[in-house]
Amino acid sequence: MELKLVGSKSLFLSNLEVMKSSSFLDTKLRIGLSGTHKLCSCRGLVLKVSRSSASYDAASSVSTENFILDDFSCQINGKSCSGLYLRDVRILDASDDEYGGILINPQTLPSNPNIFASVLHESLSHWKMKGKKGVWLKLPIEKCDLVPIAVKEGFEYHHAERGYLMMTYWLPNDPCMLPSNASHQVGVGGFVINDKNEVLVVQEKHSAPDLSGLWKIPTGFILESEEIFTGVVREVKEETGIDSEFVEVMAFRHAHNVAFEKSDLFFICLLRPLSTRIMVDDLEIQAAKWMPLVKFVEQPLIQADSMFRKVIDICIARLGKRYCGLSVHQLVSTFDGKLSSLYFNTVEDSVSNCQAN
Q: Dihedrals φ, ψ of 293, to 5°?
A: -55, -40
Q: Is the pLDDT of residue 58 over 50?
A: no
Lowest mean pLDDT among 190-194, 287-291, 323-327: 323-327
Q: Which tens digit of pLDDT belongs to each residue from 237-247? A: 999 999 999 99
SS3 state at 201: strand
pLDDT bucket at 259, cuts 50 / 70 / 90: confident
> pLDDT at residue 44 above 70?
no
Closest listed residue to residue 84, CA positions, set 94, 97, 74, 99: 74
Summarised one tens digit per residue, pLDDT across range 71-80 is 667 767 777 7
- Asked if residue 93 belongs to a domain, the reply is yes
Same domain as 268, residue 150: no
**CATH code of residue 103:** 3.40.630.30
Structural domain of 163: 89-168
Spatial neighbors of 117 by CB under 8 A, at least 6 apart, are 149, 152, 153
> In this predicted structure, what is the pLDDT of residue 84?
61
pLDDT band at 349 (very low <50, low <70, confident <90, very high): low
- As a whole number, mean pLDDT of residues 39-64 equals 41
**pLDDT tens digits, 93-139:** 999 999 999 999 999 999 999 999 999 999 999 999 999 999 999 99
**Whether residues 198 and 291 fall in one domain:** yes
Mean pLDDT on 24-30: 38
Answer whether residue 30 is part of any domain: no
Regarding predicted confidence, which is higher, 14 or 317?
A: 317
- Domain-terminating residue out of 168, 201, 217: 168
Cα 149 from chain centre: 22
Name 279's Cβ contacts closer than 8 Å, sequence gap at least 6. Answer: 240, 241
Q: Are residues 156 and 214 in the same domain?
A: no
Domain end marker among 109, 138, 168: 168
Given a contact cutoff of 8 angstroms between Cβ atoms, the answer to whether 232 and 190 are in contact is: yes
Query: Are both 254 and 295 inside the same structural domain?
Result: yes
Per-residue pLDDT at 25 exceeds 50: no
pLDDT reading at 348 higher than 80: no
**What is the Cα–Cα distance from 172 to 275, expressed in whole angstroms?**
59
Question: How many structural domains is the chain composed of?
Answer: 2
Residue 45 resides in a domain: no
- In this structure, the answer to whether residues 207 and 316 fall within a common structural domain is yes
Average pLDDT over residues 285-314: 93
Percentage, residues of the chain above pLDDT 70? 74
Q: Kindly state whether residues 113 and 205 are assigned to the same domain.
A: no
Give yes or no: residues 130 and 232 share one domain: no
- Is the pLDDT reported for residue 161 higher than 70? yes
Give the pLDDT confidence score for residue 213 in this predicted structure: 86
Q: Is the pLDDT of residue 64 over 80?
A: no
Distance separating alpha carbons of residues 188 and 267, to the nearest angstrom = 5
Residue 6 pLDDT greater than 80, yes or no: no
pLDDT for 31: 41
188 and 152 together in one domain? no
For position 85, what pLDDT does the model report? Answer: 56
Region 158-177: mean pLDDT is 95
* Threshold 0.85, pTM exceeds: no
**192 plus 286 within the same structural domain:** yes
Q: What is the mean pLDDT of residues 272-301?
A: 94
pLDDT digits (tens, 9 = 90+) for 212-254: 889 999 999 999 999 999 999 999 999 999 999 999 999 999 9
What is the predicted pLDDT for the residue at 63?
55
**Which candidate, 169, 193, 197, 300, places its Cα nearest to that of 244?**
193
Q: Domain containing 265 — which CATH number?
A: 3.90.79.10
The pLDDT, as a whole number, for residue 281 is 86
Whole-number average pLDDT of the chain: 81
Q: Would you say residue 44 lies in a domain?
A: no
Q: How confident is the model at residue 83 (pLDDT cuts 50, 70, 90)?
A: low
**What pLDDT score was predicted for residue 78?**
73
- With respect to residue 256, please indicate whether it lies within any of the assigned structural domains: yes
Asked if residue 263 and residue 236 are part of one domain, the reply reads: yes
pLDDT given for residue 235 in this prediction: 97
